[in-house]
Amino acid sequence: MAASVAVEELVNEALPQGIRTRDRILSTAARLFSQKGYEHTPLSHVAREANVSKALILWHFESKEDLFRAALGRTLEPYYIDMGDIGSLDEQNQIETLIDSYFKFVRENGYSVRFIVDLMVRESGPDEVMSHVHELYVVFRNLLAEAIDRGRLSGRFRPDVEPELDAALIVTTLDGILMERFLSEKGRPTTAENLVEHLKKTTFLRMLAEPAASKAGANDVL
Amino acid sequence: MAASVAVEELVNEALPQGIRTRDRILSTAARLFSQKGYEHTPLSHVAREANVSKALILWHFESKEDLFRAALGRTLEPYYIDMGDIGSLDEQNQIETLIDSYFKFVRENGYSVRFIVDLMVRESGPDEVMSHVHELYVVFRNLLAEAIDRGRLSGRFRPDVEPELDAALIVTTLDGILMERFLSEKGRPTTAENLVEHLKKTTFLRMLAEPAASKAGANDVL
DNA sequence: GTCTATAGCCCGATAGAC
DNA sequence: GTCTATCGGGCTATAGAC
């Protein structure tokens, strides 16, 4: 689950003209579909923004839907989880790192995340894409669950944490925070950040084991 | 914020033909828009399902968008919060009741909830409707926050709970559970229920004050 | 590979008879 | 109020020149 994308951007000048044009069409389509949705993005619009004719698009791609699937593939390219050297952290920091990287990803990929959520809600995405998204979801949840379980076994977390359920609830809350961004008024910029911090705080308030020799009420104060 | 809908269904046979037809168009449109979305529901389809001609729809409603707004109004009718005699419960039960009623509502209004979420994600809903939804959201969050604050003041909850933030986080998690229903595989029927129960359990595990005379580690066991 | 031109379809909306 | 018939526009997709 380490970094595995990138590359490819730097070798463009070595590619034949046809491929470059195809590529420009693809990224233009990905951007426009993400911004305005499939229905509201006629081929003529993609053609204009990519500086090609409609007909050329349909020479490269069999149909508008074919272009759509190809663009979706491109949209999903950055969806990987970069965990770097997570192993060197204690369990609490592992979990915080996971939460932060989820949130960072959502923040930095607003358009395509909105695109994917739209497809989920309408159940209209190609199966391959939806199962890709679902797989990422499961991988992330399992990373969380494993970190929680390690914390439980090492005694840093309470013995009654339930790794699977707790991980699922954290992911679900993160999804809710993601949705919050779609509902909130425009004038409230940082609510999502506040919620993420509060999620972390309350999660550990509940999961961390009490210091062995503590007295009752030891954490009554903030 | 009490019950105020119903009625109206039983008096249909007393209405003139034109109104009944208009009504049939409206409910048919509401159903189809919810199921397949605005773009994928041509007037011809609504006409066929409602057993009228396209032209008749456009005699009753100025345009397709006008029909859409009217149908949205109908969709939103059941969106109210029925809190009945919540005052007679203790704070924990008040919160559980609020959570349950939120979840019960989304479970029973799948189509229209999906419809509204779709509009939110695409930011394409009429402003009036979106602000109506937002208002309900705020009302619900405030009910939660007030219950939490009462629990804090009465000493049943820990003194360091943060009513606004905790309420916002609970609502957000409920939104995430709602989204979960759109992503989950078909074969996993009750995950949402499990998550709601786990949300309640962990929320109170964290918010409830320890019994005054407890010793350290009193809740180490399940 | 890339273009212009256009065929062919579907949709929302209008006209007008009943 | 309800219908049939049709218009005008925008869209995907194809044909064919370069």
pLDDT mean for each 10 residues of chain B (222 residues): 44 72 95 88 97 97 95 82 80 96 88 83 80 89 96 96 97 94 68 95 93 53 48
Q: Which of B83, B195, B99 has the alpha carbon at shortest distance from B148? A: B99
- Distance from residue B169 (CA) to nucleotide C17 (C1'), in Å? 62
Contacts of B173 in chain A (CB under 8 A): 169, 172-173, 176
Q: DSSP letter at A10? A: T
Contacts of B214 in chain A (CB under 8 A): 216
Q: What is the pLDDT of residue B173?
A: 97
- pLDDT single digits (tens) A180-203: 888 766 556 568 999 999 999 999
Residue position matching structure tokens 């003041």: B153
CA distance A84 to B7: 61
Q: Are A117 and B176 in contact (CB under 8 A)?
A: no
Nucleotides of D under 7 A from a protein CB: 1-5, 10-16
Q: What is the pLDDT of residue B52?
A: 97
Q: Is the pLDDT of residue A217 over 80?
A: no
Within 8 A by CB and 6+ apart from A128, the residues are none
User: Lowest-confidence range among A38-42, A154-158, B15-19, B210-214?
Assistant: B210-214
Q: What is the pLDDT of residue A121?
A: 82
Q: Identify the residue whose Cα has the smallest distance to the C1' of C2.
A: A56
Q: How many CB atoms lie within 10 A of CB A19?
A: 12
The separation between the first and the last C-alpha atoms of chain B, rounded to the nearest angstrom, is 38
Q: Are B1 and B42 in contact (CB under 8 A)?
A: no
Contacts of B210 in chain A (CB under 8 A): 216-217
User: Lowest-confidence range among A97-106, A146-155, B3-12?
Assistant: B3-12
